[in-house]
Structure 1
Amino acid sequence: MSPATMHILLDTVLKDLSTDTLDESLEKLRFFFPETLLLGALDLIDRESVIMYKTPWGRAQYEVLGSTATYTVFPGLLSPKGNASAYCTCPAYAYSVLLSETQLMCKHVLAIMLARRLERCIEQPIDADELASVIARQCSL
């Protein structure tokens, strides 16, 4: 099955997330992700580590507070090969998604997708100057 087809199926599963029971949703997600990746993403959500900075003009910037660092996630970015629907600054994403192509996404991207769908992102309003500081901090990693 092509990565593009997998992403379409995953989007369908995520849309049904709020209507399915928790067990049904988890079983469907296990089709796409190893248990460790899925549990890691759910743990990030439980620890309230998914932050969405919201600008007055409607732009959203996402960060995930990992165990060793803070990672930036850019949902909606497609890779040239079409094997990814987002980008994360973590090393696992670079290796597992981009280089070896063994995963659809890292736990940080999955956490963002699940947290948005479950309305579990920690929203923080941010103005233009604060956004510039966040981006500068992210770029200096």
Structure 2
Amino acid sequence: MFFQTTMHTLLEIVLRDLSTDTLDDSLEKLRFLFPETLLLGALDLIDRDSVIMYKTPWGRAQYEVLGSTATYTVFPGLPSSKGYASAYCTCPAYAYSVLLSETQLMCKHVLATMLGRRLERCIERPIDADELASVIARQCSL
């Protein structure tokens, strides 16, 4: 528990300093927090423009990440009773590695969303209420 809280705190610091650090310094810090395969997977998703932010006229953002086999919904910045901002992803890797075995802090989709938001590399798509309802319905039927 202490280890996860510390790691989440370090991640928040790295993300906050991402724009002031050189990219190489930030990547080196992220390599300390995450396995290289997870970090490279997240960066690859950003490079392929796979992080989509649906933005409503009233300011709500809904995130999807286009994975290699499916599209996953990511909920970044959820409130947590553990003292740090949490996140959730609908992918199987999140369910297994984060929730069940607790071997990872997050999956590559969550990391890609967090990095994409900070680097302003999310593909932003405006969406109205009806379209948002369709997106949510599609996500719930997965």
Same fold per TM (> 0.5)? Answer: yes
Contact 1:83 1:104 (C-alpha < 8 Å) held by counterparts: no
What amino acid sits opposite 1:85 in the alignment? S
Contact 1:77 1:85 (C-alpha < 8 Å) held by counterparts: yes
**Aligned-pair CA distance for 1:2:** 2.4
| 1:121-132 to 2 correspondences below 5 Å | 121-132=122-133
Identical positions, percent: 88
Q: In the alignment, which residue of structure 1 is the partner of 2:77?
A: 76
Contact 1:84 1:105 (C-alpha < 8 Å) held by counterparts: no
Within 2, Cα distance between the matches of 1:60 and 1:90? 19
Q: TM-score, structure 1 length as denominator?
A: 0.95
Contact 1:37 1:107 (C-alpha < 8 Å) held by counterparts: yes
What amino acid sits opposite 1:119 in the alignment? E
Runs of 4+ in 1 over 3 A off after TM superposition: 78-84
Within 1, Cα distance between the matches of 2:110 and 2:10? 16
Q: Could you list the runs of 5+ residues in structure 1 that have no partner in the other structure?
A: none
Within 1, Cα distance between the matches of 2:81 and 2:87? 12
Q: In the alignment, which residue of structure 1 is the partner of 2:53?
A: 52
Q: Could you list the runs of 5+ residues in structure 2 that have no partner in the other structure?
A: none
CA RMSD of aligned residues (A): 1.6
Q: How many residues align?
A: 141
* 1:139/1:82 CA distance change after superposition, 3 Å: farther
